[in-house]
Amino acid sequence: MYYIYLILAIAFEVLGTTSLKACNGFTKFWPSVLVVVGYALTLFFFSLCIRQINLGVAYAIWAGVGIVLVVFSNLIIFKQTIDLPAIIGVILILAGVIVINIFSKTVLE
């Protein structure tokens, strides 16, 4: 169940961060609401997941997967492109998350 909370925390973080671009400095109402609600739900679900998942590991997964998904959402929604060094960086972040999940013995407390 704790991984479900982590997945929800990641999903709401991506929603909040993607909406942050759309809210245009909090000048657009509905995207601004999505930012606040997205981040509030992110913190709520993240607090639930760290009851069982190691804080450092959960944060690394949350941040890493969130970064990768925000990059992809910006490519799709806002048509923002990234160059080769950015692509390599995103791949390295994703590789780090995979290494943690496959090899770390400290995932669950």
Which residues lie closer than 8 Å to 8 by C-beta, 6 or more apart? 41, 45
pLDDT of residue 73: 95
pLDDT < 50 stretches in the chain: none
C-alpha 105/C-alpha 60 separation (Å) is 14
pLDDT of residue 104: 84
108 in a structural domain: no
48 in a structural domain: yes
pLDDT of residue 103: 87
45 in a structural domain: yes
pTM here? 0.91
pLDDT of residue 109: 61
Tally the domains of the chain: 1
Q: Which residue range forms the structural domain that includes residue 26?
A: 2-103
109 in a structural domain: no
